[in-house]
Structure 1
Amino acid sequence: MRFALLLFTLASLLFAKIDSFKTIQSDFVQKVTNDQNKTIVYQGVFYATHDKKALWIYDKPVEKKIYFNETRVLIIEPELEQVIITTLENTPNIAQLLQEAKEISTNTYVTKFMETTYTILANTHGIEKVLYKDKLDNSVEILFSNQSTNLFLDDTLFKADIPKGYDIIRE
């Protein structure tokens, strides 16, 4: 659940400086480094709309899809043959994040949510990276590349297709 909340927060942060866009698509690389300096690298594609729908598709090292809307998160994990469905009760309001993100230097912004400080680095194409330490003291860096905005994204992209036979876990 923390992972899903984190991703929703990051999806919200992506809109912090590009809120005039109707849609965004971006490749991402997420690096999570623990206190023993071991790093896990995740890769995939991110999609989002101005009306708070988002989809993170993880390709490597494991496949996973995480769907967001205003009220819930749905995580499909093929390797575990399970789906986790949860609500977003403690998720920041995008408008609140927009108001609270402060530019501390050119193209560098900082915001805080639930005791975690997020540093957002932007460039002329949008968000370049997001840096933070999670609650387990892991250093997390999410790099965004190949961003496109205002593309047509069919609403069906954001509707999860739960495979038959998967365990469904509700939190």
Structure 2
Amino acid sequence: MIKKTLAALALTLAAPAIALASEGADRLTSMLEPLETVEARFAQKILDGSGERLQEANGQMWLSRPGKFRWEVAAPYQQEVISDGSEVYLHDPDLEQVTVQALDHRVTHTPALLLSGSARELTESYEVTRQQQGGSETFRLVPKSPDTLFEELHMTFRGEQLAALQMIDSTGQETVIEFSEVRTNHTIDDSRFQFDIPEGTDVIRDTH
């Protein structure tokens, strides 16, 4: 019994401190608000509920807040998600298909959209708690609304620079995205966020 109590105490002492929700939201806002543009490479993996790897991908992203982004998956298959600030284009070159929908900041399954929107709106839509461990800060975001595709989101910063995102859905499936070669607040040409639909591509307009 004593051993169990000591073990529990040791775990409690070793655990990083978790800030109050209001503190977490304020801190996350203070880190996101100064970001006007972000460019980074990313490595993404999808894990099932038991932790088995289902899929891997890598590519590059560009963001210009508010509302503009380009998310390019280079391997193992090509795919692009581009927002010009009013519409979002999901382009699948292999299928020669593009889906077009109005930009809606409530759509939370696109990581770039989460980052390109208003920091204040983000923290108003989620319960935010903050965890500090060494030089890393991780924010846990739980949606206040039930109409989202994930149960929680973890956003990790190292030295105030975005390092990783982790999204967990209701089945326990995780999408983990790690960023590298991150550049912030530099000039990104607006043409990066324009999309010209290739000739011969099927266009699907999503009106929902």
TM-score range, shorter chain: 0.7 to 0.9
Deviations 1:104-131 (A, max 9, x none): 3351111123352111111115111111
Superposition pairs for residues 17-166 of structure 1, below 5 Å? 17-35=31-49, 37-89=52-104, 90-91=106-107, 94=118, 95-99=120-124, 100=126, 101-106=128-133, 107-113=137-143, 114=148, 116-124=151-159, 126-166=161-201
Question: For residues 61 and 119 of structure 1, what CA distance do their matches in structure 2 show?
Answer: 25
The alpha carbon displacement at 1:69 in A equals: 4.2
CA 1:165–1:135 in 2, change beyond 3 Å: closer, same or farther? Answer: farther
The alpha carbon displacement at 1:138 in A equals: 1.6
Deviations 1:35-81 (A, max 9, x none): 46133111000100122201101101111110124443211110000
Give the number of aligned pairs: 157
CA 1:38–1:22 in 2, change beyond 3 Å: closer, same or farther? Answer: closer
Over aligned residues, Cα RMSD in angstroms?
2.2
CA 1:152–1:29 in 2, change beyond 3 Å: closer, same or farther? Answer: same
CA 1:54–1:81 in 2, change beyond 3 Å: closer, same or farther? Answer: same
Q: Is the 8 A contact 2:40 2:183 kept in 1?
A: yes
Q: TM-score, normalised by structure 2?
A: 0.68
Deviations 1:125-149 (A, max 9, x none): 5111111212453211110111001
- Matched letter for residue 139 of structure 1: E
- Matched letter for residue 148 of structure 1: R
Structure 2 gaps of 5+ residues are 1-27, 109-116
Q: Is the 8 A contact 1:125 1:147 kept in 2?
A: no
Deviations 1:75-102 (A, max 9, x none): 1110000000112443376322145533
Tell me which moved more, 140-149 or 109-118: 109-118
SS of the residue 1:80 aligns to: coil
- Matched letter for residue 180 of structure 2: S
Question: For residues 42 and 57 of structure 1, what CA distance do their matches in structure 2 show?
Answer: 10
- Identity rate, percent: 21
Q: TM-score, normalised by structure 1?
A: 0.81
Larger radius of gyration: 2
Partner of 1:9: none
